[in-house]
A and B are shown apart, each in its own frame.
Chain A
Amino acid sequence: GENVEQHPSTLSVQEGDSAVIKCTYSDSASNYFPWYKQELGKRPQLIIDIRSNVGEKKDQRIAVTLNKTAKHFSLHITETQPEDSAVYFCAGHMNTGFQKLVFGTGTRLLVSP
């Protein structure tokens, strides 16, 4: 089945620095890779996703890169701001007729002013 590993578990950066969070997955059939952001006490919300026919996707200060050969994908946040502080989750999705979305264990990002 699908297994998603996420690193690091915590990440502290100074405002203005870049942050990178990495995930690896086990199922080579996976073809959809979303990233969710969860602020303290709130529900997770989608911030960006990528499909397997694309190597990179950008949306303002956030980007996701996908390496299907190595089976890993990464979230990049540039020019970090204090409001970026949250827990970020990657997820992997199997396209075998199942509807299962399996999440990584999360990365707590702290951006210090």
Chain B
Amino acid sequence: GAVVSQHPSWVICKSGTSVKIECRSLDFQATTMFWYRQFPKQSLMLMATSNEGSKATYEQGVEKDKFLINHASLTLSTLTVTSAHPEDSSFYICSARDPLRESAKNIQYFGAGTRLSVL
């Protein structure tokens, strides 16, 4: 149980285009999902907290108009990188909590990540 699926796993796009990344909880309902970014040879940095039915909470320094997050259902959150540029090339990973599982409500389950390359 507690599987998080992320799609696509790899995307290449031209500069100026927008890219959407999906994060799905497959066997549980996730009221909260998290989006992380990892630059080469660096650790994961939290970008934003995605809350079902409400606006996402962004970490300091992350442009909310650049990285649009939508969490319209209990099993799906999307991250859209708008007008992507080469400096947005990175590894993006999502995670989700299962708040209904009392023994695991503070555990995050991670997707496999999406590698974005902007040309």
Q: Do A and B come from one complex?
A: no
Residues of A within 8 A of B (CB): none
